[in-house]
Amino acid sequence: MEKTSKIYIAGHTGLVGSAIMRQLQKAVYEKVITRTHAELDLTDASAVENFFVKEKPDYVFCAAAKVGGLHANDAYMADFAMENLKITINLIDSAYKNGVKKLLYPGSSCIYPRECPQPVKEEYLLTGPLEPTNEGYALAKITGVKLCDYYKKQYGANFISCMPANLYGPNDCYNESRNHVVPALIQRFHHAKINNLPSVEIWGTGKARREFMYIDDAAEACLFLMDNYEGPGIINVGNGNDVSIAELAQFVSDTVGYNGRIVFDTSKPDGMPRRCLDSSRISRMGWNAKTPFREGLEKAYEWFLANVYRADE
């Protein structure tokens, strides 16, 4: 990308898109294009096509998605599948039709098979059944990954995809019906702290393991790949470190300063037993995550206090 290139961030107000925006601003790119959901409904094919015809972006980051945690993905599977399919298809097809030079599609590590070997290599995609609780969302994201490959193969489009680990940080979703595990725990432990609650209950056994990466590291990787990667297939973006949900809960409790008990509801599902990415390919290319997990949690909690907790007061 050149400093004067027209760069469109789809979903610039969300967790991933806002972090990409910060990285582009930091690097002083001059022509960053954005639209809010009110200005452009990405599920509307005609509206998306008209936008691309008018703006003619050179580069596109597909950071828009309907996202949620374990409960939301399971309870609203049709919504997650349909909305993400529409967004994905509209962005990729309009980008191709309007001569976009390069497109980056960030997927989700939940697209890998539930029982695949660990750490997860890129070639494990579609080698086994998905985790049932997020199958709808995962299938929609897999479609985006494969469409990038199909458009590259059939039309020569320079469309690439990456697979980040579980992400967290500024602009995360703190809606209790849709949030992921890190913001859910931050909100829950903070509520327990200020209300002097004796315990906090968490779904599952606490044994499931996940890899977490600070969002600004992921955004930096997206810019790195846009400038340095043109291959087919996906490329993993992670830090290679995973923790159990029980360990995560204790880390968040310590960060928030909550001193009560942590109780696990073992009648609720754990989701995928373990998910840790093998990110050796991007590491060999010269990119590595920088933010230690505990430092990232502190930054996430600081953002919550400044932007979410005040709004709830």
Torsion of CA 17, 221, 307, 296, to 10 degrees: 160
Give catalytic residue positions.
137
Report if residue 77 sits inside a domain.
Answer: yes
CATH number at residue 249: 3.40.50.720
List of residues 6+ apart from 280 with CB closer than 8 A: none
Q: Which residue from 142, 173, 147 is spatially nearest to 160, judged by alpha carbons?
A: 147
Report if residue 114 sits inside a domain.
Answer: yes
Positive/negative CA dihedral, 116, 117, 120, 122 = negative
Predicted pLDDT at 310: 66
Helix (H, G, I), strand (E, B) or coil at 204: coil
Helix (H, G, I), strand (E, B) or coil at 61: strand
Give CA–CA dist 174/68, Å, rounded.
10
End-to-end CA distance of the chain: 43
Positive/negative CA dihedral, 190, 193, 196, 197 = positive
Q: What are the backbone dihedrals phi and psi of residue 141, each rounded to the nearest 5 degrees, phi first?
A: -70, -35
Cis peptide before 232 (omega within 30 of 0): no
pLDDT tens, per residue, the chain with 313 residues: 999 999 999 999 999 999 999 999 999 999 999 999 999 999 999 999 999 999 999 999 999 988 776 667 677 789 989 999 999 999 999 999 999 999 999 988 889 998 899 999 999 999 999 988 889 999 999 999 999 999 999 999 999 999 999 999 999 988 876 678 999 999 999 999 999 999 999 989 999 999 999 999 999 999 999 999 998 889 999 999 999 999 999 999 999 999 999 999 999 888 778 889 999 999 999 999 999 999 999 999 999 999 998 655 4
When divided into structural domains, the chain yields a total of 1
HEC profile of 222-290: HHHHHHHCCCCCEEEECCCCEEEHHHHHHHHHHHHCCCCEEEEECCCCCCCCEECECCHHHHHHCCCCC
Predicted pLDDT at 113: 94
Give CA–CA dist 57/48, Å, rounded.
12
Report if residue 79 sits inside a domain.
Answer: yes
Report if residue 1 sits inside a domain.
Answer: no
Per-residue tokens: 44? 């509307």
Q: Which residue from 259, 282, 42, 294 is spatially nearest to 161, judged by alpha carbons?
A: 282
**Which residue segment(s) compose the domain that 40 sits in?**
6-312
State pTM to two decimals.
Answer: 0.93
Number of H helices, E strands in the chain: 11, 12
Report if residue 42 sits inside a domain.
Answer: yes
Q: Which residue from 168, 197, 210, 167 is spatially nearest to 263, judged by alpha carbons?
A: 197
Positive/negative CA dihedral, 122, 127, 128, 132 = positive
